[in-house]
Amino acid sequence: MSSKPRIFIDGEHGTTGLQIRQRLDGRSDIEVLSIPEAERRNADFRKQMLNDADIAILCLPDDASREAVAMLAEAGNETTRIIDTSTAHRTADGWTFGFAELTRGQRDAIAKARHVSNPGCYSTGAIALLRPLVESQVMPPQYPVTINAVSGYTGGGKQLIAQMEDASREDHIASASYLYALGLAHKHVAEIITRSGLKRRPIFTPNVARYAQGMLVNVPLHLDLLNGSPELETVHEILTSHYSGQSVVEVVSRDECAKASRLDPEELRGTDRMRLYVLGTPGQGQVNLVASLDNLGKGASGAAVQNMEIMLAR
């Protein structure tokens, strides 16, 4: 039996799973378990892979992720550790939120956890901007937050990718971009509330555009509604202090923010990093917070691999 950590990507043929597999290909320090094409519909083979793995990364719809967790429980498996990239367990008791930069001690919590839930792409950006302000008590938990965001279409999975890229399909989407979740009930809202520390439900309006990967998440704020009516520079200092020493999350310098006239949602395409901007004109009483990331990088597959590395380094 191999002494290398065994990693099983359950759902490796989906968008997130494929990207995780690409990140792991060629590595000699781990053994990647894979279901042969002929066995893809073999539930017993899948169950065996889950039980054989040291870490199982679930890249599945919510119900299938719950089923995988149940398979391990029914087998009496208490050793396989899980990273779930679905929405199923992001606010569930007993699951550690897989955002290492969330707060002090979060990386250690992930390292020790058996069950880790990967954050959603939009929520990664929103929480990154909001959590430091709530935690520092500058933002009241009841603040009426509005979140606007634009994402590449790969975040919608294979069906949306096909709709965007194949003009011959009857359901092809011809528009350059579109708003959705107009009923204000997007599935990421629950984790944004829970993990940011907000008590009032934010208004969240997502937008999908005709490019593959990349994301901007925008949170505009009135400074006089924050505790102490801080200046724009103070908000920048809070974020900078919160993420000090982090290698994945970067708070953009005040000089670069001041010079910015436009932001490109594809800025970090192909990377696993996130950049946070604190924008606005000093003295005007408003600040525009923006998180830039790849929706398949730090927003999905990159975060899963980061969590895997933290868990293996324990």
Neighbours of 287 (CB within 10 A): 24
Which residue, 180, 205, 182, 175, is CA-closest to 192? 205
Which residue, 303, 282, 4, is CA-closest to 125? 303
**Are 60 and 96 part of one and the same domain?**
yes
**Are 147 and 217 part of one and the same domain?**
yes
**Are 18 and 44 part of one and the same domain?**
yes
Domain total of the chain: 2
Q: What is the pLDDT of residue 86?
A: 96
Q: Which residues contact 277 (CB under 8 A, 6 or more apart)?
A: 252, 257, 260, 263, 288, 289, 290, 291, 292
Q: How far apart are CA 81 and CA 311, in angstroms?
A: 9
For the chain, the C-alpha Rg in angstroms (whole number) is 20
Domain limits for position 113: 6-119+300-312
Domain-located, residue 158:
yes
CATH number at residue 103: 3.40.50.720
Which residue, 226, 218, 233, is CA-closest to 141? 226
**Are 136 and 20 part of one and the same domain?**
no
Q: What letter represents residue 273's amino acid?
A: R
Domain-located, residue 45:
yes
Q: What letter represents residue 69's amino acid?
A: V
**Are 136 and 191 part of one and the same domain?**
yes
Q: What is the 3-state secondary structure (H, E, C) of the chain?
A: CCCCCEEEEECCCCHHHHHHHHHHCCCCCCEEECCCHHHCCCHHHHHHHHHHCCEEEECCCHHHHHHHHHHHHHCCCCCCEEEECCCCCCCCCCCEECCCCCCCCHHHHHHHCCEEECCCHHHHHHHHHHHHHHHCCCCCCCCCCEEEEEEEHHHHHHHHHHHHHCCCCCCCCCCCEEECCCCCCCCCHHHHHHHHCCCCCCEEEEEEECCCCCEEEEEEEEHHHCCCCCCHHHHHHHHHHHCCCCCCEEECCHHHHHHCCCCCCCCCCCCCCEEEEEECCCCCCEEEEEEEECCCHHHHHHHHHHHHHHHHCC
pLDDT, tens digit only, all 314 positions of the chain: 458 999 999 999 899 999 999 999 989 999 999 888 788 788 899 999 999 999 999 999 999 999 999 999 999 999 999 999 999 999 999 999 999 999 999 999 999 999 999 999 999 999 999 999 999 999 999 999 999 999 998 888 778 878 877 788 877 887 888 898 999 999 999 999 999 999 999 999 999 999 989 999 999 999 999 999 999 999 999 999 999 999 999 999 999 999 999 999 999 999 999 999 999 999 999 999 999 999 999 999 999 999 999 999 97
**Are 204 and 269 part of one and the same domain?**
yes
The label of the residue with tokens 């709709």 reads 163
**Are 162 and 247 part of one and the same domain?**
yes
Q: What is the 3-state secondary structure (H, E, C) of 146-165?
A: EEEEEEEHHHHHHHHHHHHH
Q: What is the pLDDT of residue 2?
A: 58
Active site amino acids:
121
**Are 115 and 26 part of one and the same domain?**
yes
**Are 133 and 62 part of one and the same domain?**
no
Which residue, 255, 177, 167, 245, is CA-closest to 211? 177
Q: What is the pTM for the complete model shown?
A: 0.94
Q: What is the pLDDT of residue 249?
A: 98
**Are 139 and 218 part of one and the same domain?**
yes
CATH number at residue 189: 3.30.360.10
Domain-located, residue 1:
no
**Are 125 and 248 part of one and the same domain?**
yes
**Are 209 and 74 part of one and the same domain?**
no
